[in-house]
Amino acid sequence: MKRSGVLLSVLFMLVLVWGCAEFRTVGKQELPAEQTALIAEHAALYQEVTSASPFIRSLDGYADVWIKTPKRQNRVFCNIRVNRGVESRMIVTAGFIGWPVADMFFSRDSLFVHDMLNNRLFLGSNNDMNLEKILGVNSGYRLLMESLLGMVNITEPVTAITSVKKGAGMLLFTVASSAGSKEVVIDPFNRTLTALLLKDLEGKTTTEMHFRNFESLTINGHNVLVPKEIDLLLYNSKDGMGEHQMVISYDERVFNKEMSSLRLSMPKKAKVVNIDDADFQPWL
């Protein structure tokens, strides 16, 4: 028992030290400001980029993840796996030693988190509040999965575009949506999505996503540029305090790898905690 306690303490300190080293935050970019006309070339570009490479079905990779809120900040290293539109899994390791300390599984309607250090199993509904309890960001599951993948499927058609702006080699499409509007920033030369801003009905920005460090890949015969860094910035935390940020930076990854269900095996003798009823600080 004494050795076990010492080991847990050492692992905790390694996670803490790793989390404090070389901390990164979301980097914003200058947005196009000069009004321009919507021409056929722009419409075709918008349709191509917003389809978000539908031939990409899955991801298996390793990434550093930084999370910052007004109350805390942390850095972890994760094995991230995504079955697009279905489920995702994050296995968190203890810094440079690569010791697994948490296993997180997310489906459309539920989430499971195995705290390996204390053998606790958190389970509950997959909703904004529970995601904030676990990750510190209440992005919603769809936005979380798209952030992990680096691919955002924007469903609004060309007819929803209300204005186009240009500047700094970029095009900004303002698009009407059911929740308010979206500002879609596209690099017309590389034909990539570089930023996405979500606004509410009052015109206030609630979410920003930025995509950087694009990697050229051939996937299923398609040549595609995929971002290695994804920045997520949220202004609408349930506690109403400041910005909540998440930065994902991939070291390596494989797309469309054949994967069976990502659902984790239930740990033996674990203490079960219902996240829906629990009130605690973010676990990660």
Q: Return the HEC string of the chain.
A: CHHHHHHHHHHHHHHHHHHHCCCCCCCCCCCCCEEECCCHHHHHHHHHHHCCCCCCCEEEEEEEEEEECCCCEEEEEEEEEEECCCEEEEEEEEHHHCEEEEEEEEECCEEEEEECCCCEEEEEECCHHHHHHHHCCCCCHHHHHHHHHCCCCCCCCHHHEEEEEEECCEEEEEEEECCEEEEEEEECCCCEEEEEEEECCCCCEEEEEEEEEEEEEEECCEEEEEEEEEEEEECCCCCCCCCEEEEEEEEEEEECCCCCCCCCCCCCCCEEEECCCCCCCCCC
100 bridge partner residues: 93
pLDDT in tens, 263-276: 878 888 899 999 88
pLDDT value at residue 1:
44
pLDDT band at 6 (very low <50, low <70, confident <90, very high): very low
* Residue at 248: amino acid letter: I
- When pLDDT is averaged across residues 98-107 and rounded to a whole number, the result is 86
pLDDT band at 4 (very low <50, low <70, confident <90, very high): very low
pLDDT value at residue 131:
87
Q: What is the pTM of this model?
A: 0.85
Q: 164 in a domain, yes or no?
A: yes
- When pLDDT is averaged across residues 101-130 and rounded to a whole number, the result is 90
Distance CA 27, CA 8 (A): 35
Domain of 59, CATH number, reads: 2.50.20.10
Give me the domain span that covers residue 257. 2-274
What percent of the chain has a predicted confidence (pLDDT) above 70? 85
Distance CA 212, CA 195 (A): 9
* Lowest mean pLDDT across 119-123, 178-182, 256-260: 256-260
pLDDT in tens, 45-91: 999 999 988 999 999 999 999 988 888 888 889 999 999 988 999 99
pLDDT in tens, 157-198: 999 999 999 999 999 999 999 999 999 999 999 999 999 999
Q: 280 in a domain, yes or no?
A: no
Between 165 and 239, where is the model more confident? 165
Distance CA 10, CA 4 (A): 10
Q: 207 in a domain, yes or no?
A: yes
Contact 131, 143 (CB under 8 A): no
Q: Please determine, for residue 43, whether its predicted confidence score (pLDDT) is greater than 90.
A: yes
Q: 138 in a domain, yes or no?
A: yes
pLDDT value at residue 284:
62
* Lowest mean pLDDT across 13-17, 49-53, 94-98, 228-232: 13-17
User: Which two tokens mark 174?
Assistant: 């303002």
Using a 10 angstrom Cβ sphere, with 0-12 exposed, 13-18 middle and 19 or more buried, the burial of residue 73 is: middle
Q: 28 in a domain, yes or no?
A: yes
Contact 229, 211 (CB under 8 A): yes
- When pLDDT is averaged across residues 16-38 and rounded to a whole number, the result is 74
Q: 129 in a domain, yes or no?
A: yes
Number of domains comprising the chain: 1
pLDDT band at 156 (very low <50, low <70, confident <90, very high): very high
pLDDT value at residue 11:
45
Q: 81 in a domain, yes or no?
A: yes
Q: 279 in a domain, yes or no?
A: no
Distance CA 177, CA 188 (A): 23
pLDDT value at residue 277:
83
- When pLDDT is averaged across residues 131-156 and rounded to a whole number, the result is 87
